[in-house]
Amino acid sequence: MRHIISLLMENEAGALSRVAGLFSARGYNIESLTVATTEDLTMSRMTIVTSGSDEVIEQIMKQLNKLIEVVAVVDLTDGEHLERELMLVKVIAKGDEREELKRIADIFRGRIVDVSDKTYTIELTGTGSKLDSFLNAIDRGLILETVRTGSSGIGRGDRILKL
């Protein structure tokens, strides 16, 4: 099953490689991994999307907790949560396609953030599956580049991950 794990860790050199190394050393999957500092500059927040049986996820949580620099870990999938990913897509936008692409971007609440005479760059946010749907909705042959950030997650309401 797919799980979204959120963790707080010391913002120190090498901390990211400890997490990445743990996943590769123990053969765990990483679908995506995002990391950036928080409002407290001594700490980084990481979101890892992974998959595995309940036993594997339990081990992942325990092994992450065991890393000295990891301050707190939570499996967001255990409860209500929000998940967002940002995507930038550069597409060929010529002739009739220009109007059509604008229309589809609007449907997905995307924004055109850069324009040239032959291209659009469209920005979209949403769950991973929403971004997938957008890519499926347009003509694949028009896509020049896609950049996705990987998912970031946060608990709903009172579910707070803080030191």
Partner 1 sequence: MELTGAEIAIRCLQEEGVEYVFGYPGGAVLFIYDALFNQEQVKHILVRHEQAAVHAADGYSRSTDKVGVALVTSGPGVTNAVTGIATAYMDSIPMVVISGQVPTSYIGEDAFQEVDTVGITRPCVKHNFLVKDVKDLAVTLKKAFYLAKSGRPGPVLVDIPKDVSNQKVEFSYPSTVNIRSYNPAKHGDVGQIKRAAQLLIEAKRPMIYAGGGVVLADAAKQLTELVRLLGAPCTNTLMGLGGYPSTDKQFVGMLGMHGTYEANMAMQNCDVLLAVGARFDDRVIGNVAHFGSVPRKIIHVDIDPATISKRVKVDVPIVGEVGHVLGDLLAVLHSSKQKPDAVTLQSWWKQIEEWRSRNSLAYKNSIELVKPQFVIEKLYEITHGEAFVTSDVGQHQMWAAQYYKFDKPRRWINSGGLGTMGFGLPAAMGVQLAHPDATVACVTGEGSIQMNIQELSTCKQFRLPIKVIALNNRYLGMVRQWQEFFHGNRYSESYMDALPDFVKLAEAYGHIGIRVDKPSDVEGALREALERKNDLVFLDFQTDPTENVFPMVPGGKGLSEVILAEDL
Binding region for partner 1 (CB under 8 A): 9-10, 13-14, 17-18, 21, 25, 55, 58-59, 62-63, 65-66, 68-71, 163
What is the residue-wise DSSP string for 75-97? EGGGS-EEEEEEEEEEEE--THH
| Closer residue to partner 1 (CB): 20 or 92 | 20
- Torsion angle, CA of 91/95/100/103, rounded to 10 degrees? 90
Cβ of residue 21: shortest distance to partner 1, in angstroms?
Answer: 6
Cβ of residue 62: shortest distance to partner 1, in angstroms?
Answer: 4
| Closer residue to partner 1 (CB): 65 or 133 | 65
Buried b (16+ CB within 10 A) or exposed e, 133-144: ebeeebeeebee
| Closer residue to partner 1 (CB): 60 or 91 | 60
Nearest to residue 151, comparing CAs of 134, 133, 122, 126? 126
Cβ of residue 150: shortest distance to partner 1, in angstroms?
Answer: 23
